[in-house]
């Protein structure tokens, strides 16, 4: 970083947190103004060894082929960090000084809840009594594929994000030799419990950010959809049913629950005595982690299954920044400058980001980067267009120059 961005390291104040997380401070002309915070994280999720051969290019190669950068972290979230630093370095080369002070916060453990990175950084902000007027982190993007009826690019800026909780379920039934199985084993009971949880969904909620998204996009859609959105009191269930047909829009109106870890057994001829599974849940505003646990217990309805909530990475759903906030309007204006004919809308972030640690003491927290139709994040062939990275650099330059 120091070799690539020498001016940034020479002219900005830098602090390290737990060795690998960094905060840069760029003093503005008017120190009486509350600062802005730009965020990104430097860590990435791993690549499964078995999936490496399925990548078009080696997963950590950073291969640039034509207009595409390939590799883990290209989307999530090294591109944001690089775009922030590129924008800063270029502006320093021109002896630019921002009107207000900016902090750049780069965490190193966002993918494992940010406890030693963004969490510690946010505590430092609180100890120093630094209350940002605006925090910008990863999240929303530009889409031209999911809103086909709109027929123009849609930039979704997240004004809030879902919560996060892991729920463990466990079954203990004496095992034995696989040649003499009982009618039900620990694995049998666990499997039935998993199926029961997955058969139903928690009650739907249309949160304020999702309602705004529906209203914004409905204005550009068919007459029937306009009528439905304009009369939610009558057509709410119909609108929700339509959103449930797609996994991404379904996640906007439901608290989701999915098993991500299943463990049982140590040998092929031994029936295990204990079988465990972990559900990952993303919680809608208006529902809580306790609601999730109660839903799981009621869905399983079997006293042999123990249900326990993990607390180490628990985060309840966040509050939302109003879409009429000046910071949202600023991002809307900047996005319209760099993306022709774009429709800008608020929405609810279905994942979780480091910025959640700043929500309790910041006036506004928004999640957005102007990359378009990002591909492969957390999966195979993660990649971003060179034109997207260039657009992101231009975007951050405009944010830094904002008066």
Q: What is the CATH number of the domain that holds 376?
A: 3.40.630.10
Query: Is 395 in contact with 334 (CB distance < 8 Å)?
Result: yes
Beta strands in 101-185 (DSSP E): 102-107, 134-143, 154-161, 163-172, 176-177
Closest Cα to residue 345, out of 327, 358, 328, 360? 328
Domain assignment present for residue 326? The answer is no
Residues 153, 276 share a domain: no
Which pLDDT band holds residue 126 (cuts at 50, 70, 90)? very high
Last residue of a domain, one of 309, 332, 360: 309
pLDDT averaged over the chain?
A: 95
Q: State the residue range of the domain holding 356.
A: 6-160+346-401
Residue whose C-alpha is closest to residue 169's, from 237, 93, 263: 263
Q: Is the peptide bond before 77 cis (omega within 30 degrees of 0)?
A: yes
Is 335 within the bounds of a domain?
Answer: no
Whole-number percent of the chain with pLDDT over 90: 89
Catalytic, out of 43, 76, 109, 137:
43
What does the CA dihedral 132, 138, 139, 141 come to, rounded to 10 degrees? 120
Report the alpha-carbon distance of residue 239 to residue 174 in Å, rounded: 48
- Domain match, 23 and 79 both: yes
Asked whether the predicted pLDDT for residue 148 surpasses 80, the reply is no
DSSP code for 236: H
pLDDT tens digit sequence for 24-37: 999 999 999 999 99
CATH of the domain at 277: 3.30.70.360
Catalytic: which of 77, 86, 109, 110?
Answer: 110
Residue 110 annotated to the active site: yes
Contact by Cβ (8 Å): 102, 400: yes
Domain membership of residue 319 (yes or no) is: no
Picking from 305, 297, 296, 300, the residue whose alpha carbon sits closest to that of residue 275 is: 305
- Record the pTM: 0.91
Hunting for tokens 């139903």 — which residue is that? 200
């Amino acid at each position: 970083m120091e070799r690539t961005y020498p001016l940034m390291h020479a002219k900005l104040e830098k602090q390290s947190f737990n060795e690998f997380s960094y905060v840069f401070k760029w003093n503005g002309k008017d120190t009486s103004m509350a600062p802005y915070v730009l965020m990104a994280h430097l860590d990435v999720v791993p690549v499964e060894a078995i999936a490496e051969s399925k990548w078009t290019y080696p997963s950590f190669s950073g291969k640039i082929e034509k207009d595409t950068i390939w590799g883990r972290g290209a989307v999530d979230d090294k591109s944001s960090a690089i775009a922030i630093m590129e924008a800063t370095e270029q502006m320093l080369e021109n002896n630019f000084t921002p009107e207000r002070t900016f902090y750049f916060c780069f965490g190193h453990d966002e993918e494992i809840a940010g406890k030693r990175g963004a969490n510690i950084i946010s505590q430092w902000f609180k100890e120093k009594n630094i209350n940002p007027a605006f925090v910008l982190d990863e999240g929303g993007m530009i889409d031209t594929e999911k809103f086909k009826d709109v027929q123009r690019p849609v930039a979704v800026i997240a004004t809030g994000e879902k919560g996060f909780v892991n729920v463990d379920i466990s079954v203990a039934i004496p095992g034995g030799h696989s040649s003499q199985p009982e009618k039900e084993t620990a694995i049998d009971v666990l499997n039935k419990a998993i199926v029961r949880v997955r058969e139903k969904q928690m009650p739907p909620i249309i949160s304020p950010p999702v309602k705004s998204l529906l209203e914004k996009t409905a204005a550009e859609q068919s007459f029937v959809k306009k009528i439905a959105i304009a009369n939610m009191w009558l057509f709410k269930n119909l609108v929700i049913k339509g959103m449930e047909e797609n996994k991404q829009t379904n996640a906007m109106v439901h608290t989701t629950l999915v098993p991500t870890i299943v463990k049982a057994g140590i040998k092929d001829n031994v029936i295990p005595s204990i079988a465990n599974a972990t559900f990952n849940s993303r919680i809608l505003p208006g529902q809580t982690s306790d609601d999730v646990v109660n839903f799981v217990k009621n869905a399983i309805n079997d006293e042999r299954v123990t249900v326990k909530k993990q607390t180490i990475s628990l985060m309840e759903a966040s509050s939302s920044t109003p879409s009429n906030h000046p910071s949202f309007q600023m991002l809307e204006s900047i996005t319209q400058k760099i993306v022709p004919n774009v429709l800008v809308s608020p929405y609810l972030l279905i994942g979780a980001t480091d910025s959640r640690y700043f929500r309790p003491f910041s006036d506004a927290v928004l999640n957005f980067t102007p990359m378009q139709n990002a591909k492969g994040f957390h999966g195979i062939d993660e990649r971003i267009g060179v034109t997207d990275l260039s657009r992101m650099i231009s975007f951050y330059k405009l944010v830094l120059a904002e008066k």
